[in-house]
Amino acid sequence: MPAYIVAYDLRQPGRNYDPLYAAIKGYGTWGKVTESLWVIDSASSAVSIRDHLTGFIDKNDRIFVVKSGLEAAWRNAMAENEWLKSHL
Please state whether 83 falls in left (phi above 0), alpha (psi between -120 and 50) or beta: alpha
Task: Using the predicted structure, report yes or no on whether residue 9 has a pLDDT greater than 80.
Answer: yes
The predicted-structure confidence for 32-75, as pLDDT tens digits, reads as follows 999 899 999 999 999 999 999 999 999 999 999 999 877 788 88
Query: What is the count of structural domains for the chain?
Result: 1
d(CA 56, CA 35): 17
Structural contact between residues 62 and 9, judged by C-beta atoms closer than 8 angstroms: yes
pLDDT score recorded for residue 24: 97
pLDDT score recorded for residue 79: 83
Task: Using the predicted structure, report yes or no on whether residue 77 has a pLDDT greater than 80.
Answer: yes
- Higher-confidence residue of 35 and 25: namely 25
For residue 49, the domain's CATH number is 3.30.70.240
Which residues partner with 39 through β-bridges?
5, 31
| Calculated CA dihedral for residues 78, 80, 82, 87, nearest 10 degrees | -60
pTM of the model: 0.84
For 73, the domain range is: 3-87
